[in-house]
Amino acid sequence: MPSPTTDPVATRRVSLLTLGCARNEVDSEELAGRLAAGGWELAAEPEDSDVVVVNTCGFVESAKKDSVDTLLAASDTGKKVVAVGCMAERYGNELAESLPEADAVLGFDHYADLAERLDDVVAGRKVESHTPSDRRKLLPISPVQRPTAAESVEVPGHAQHGWGPRVLRTRLDTSPVAALKIASGCDRRCSFCAIPSFRGSFVSRQPDEIVAEAMWLAENGVKEVFLVSENSTSYGKDFGRDGARALELLVPRLAEVPGIERVRVSYLQPAETRPGLVKAIATTPGVADYFDLSFQHSSETVLRRMRRFGSTDSFLALCEQIREYSPNAGIRTNVIVGFPGETEEDVAELERFLNGARLDAVGVFGYSDEDGTEAETFDGKLDESVVAERVARISALVEELTSQRAEDRIGDFVDVLIEQAEDGEDPIGRAAHQAPEVDGECVLIETDDLPALAVGDFVRCEVVDSEGVDLIVRPAPPEADR
């Protein structure tokens, strides 16, 4: 790969708008790095840009609608608009035909030369829209053959090859928290999920590369990194025999990076979460004792139709194993209700699990068909009114149980990372059991002798009250309950 150059004469201005998950946020910062290296100046506002790049989400119907709405709003600014990301990769020229407001619809294979493609867009040169394909077919079936092959395939989040010590990433905000991608793609074949078809097969990043990026993030003011992928428990499966413990060996290395005070792991598959990994996350200093476990359901019958593994009892045993190491560990999940064929007995089984698991946060989603998935062809589809009733029923239970879980933390001591500290407002942050955006937060009650707090500070606090899943906390002496 040639060395990056910047031609001041050709500098253009571009803004990036990101939708969807933390993985997309990493991809946008990688794209920002590519564009900066290609001579583009980053603008904070679409109105100040020559081109607005929208990093779309294509996971569920509501996310697709948000992506389209954002593209239309960007077009209303009068600037050139380019769609990238999952929705653009998944639908490509079909999206381009239905959305003429977008000046180009580009897939992952365009990322390496995105700066040049944006030059074409500004110059009025036609850029052919992406033609979708099944990205699982781009890499070998055998995981151990993929690391070398992946160097010739565009895999978002794996752009460091050929750039030497430089990290090809530009921060798009000043948050003390940043996502750090450890892998891309997924080899699972969940019957309701289309992600592997457009994200491709699972590929791990090399540990040294990940650690180097964590060091760069620390140098840029990051205090907490959270590790993201489509399936973090598969990390290292493509390293061969030595890869089985790759994640539990990587986590302590990241915790030792100067400046990084907390490491958080996300996107764990319960059936692949091994005891060694549980211990590493729950007991390693500097690692949040936090478990983002994708249970999805707990009825064995529903799980088998989902092409997943586990049961209420095995999931409860995993929760118990976690709490044997760390009684106050945070555990969160998402569940899908109304899956084709789901019975009242299945819902009752899910309720049994939720009542026994004492989870800190639960996302509840009603099933809906996704294009091209196996579940789209299943019989036993439930009426929309039945799905909505079950969503409401499980949501009400979850609200009650997670509020109780937060109440149980009253009297505990937590380390809070400050993320908002405005004059006249109570500082807001997160404890170890609270991930960015998806979980609750901590609201600090300031005391007279408390020094001024800044974003990025860690504060030892005592939990004095709760509001739903949020905690009300009061700063405590640093040595409190260590």
Please enumerate, by residue number, every residue annotated as part of a binding site for [4Fe-4S] cluster.
21, 57, 86, 186, 190, 193
**54, 19 contact by CB (below 8 A):** yes
- Residues 116 and 39: their CA atoms lie apart, in Å, by 10
- Residues 234 and 315: their CA atoms lie apart, in Å, by 18
How crowded is residue 277: how many other Cβ atoms within 10 Å of its Cβ? 22
What are the DSSP calls for 96-156, one per residue? HHH-TT-SEE--GGGGGGHHHHHHHHHHT---PPP----GGGGS-SSGGGHHHHGGGS--T
Which residue from 366, 322, 328, 330 is spatially nearest to 347, judged by alpha carbons?
A: 366
- Name the 3-class secondary structure at 258: coil
Query: Computed over its alpha carbons, how large is the radius of gyration of the chain?
Result: 23
Residues making up the binding site: 21, 57, 86, 186, 190, 193
Which residue from 394, 119, 155, 417 is spatially nearest to 288, judged by alpha carbons?
A: 417
Which 8-state DSSP code applies to residue 17?
E
How crowded is residue 225: how many other Cβ atoms within 10 Å of its Cβ? 24
Which residue from 216, 286, 196 is spatially nearest to 250, judged by alpha carbons?
A: 286
**177, 417 contact by CB (below 8 A):** yes
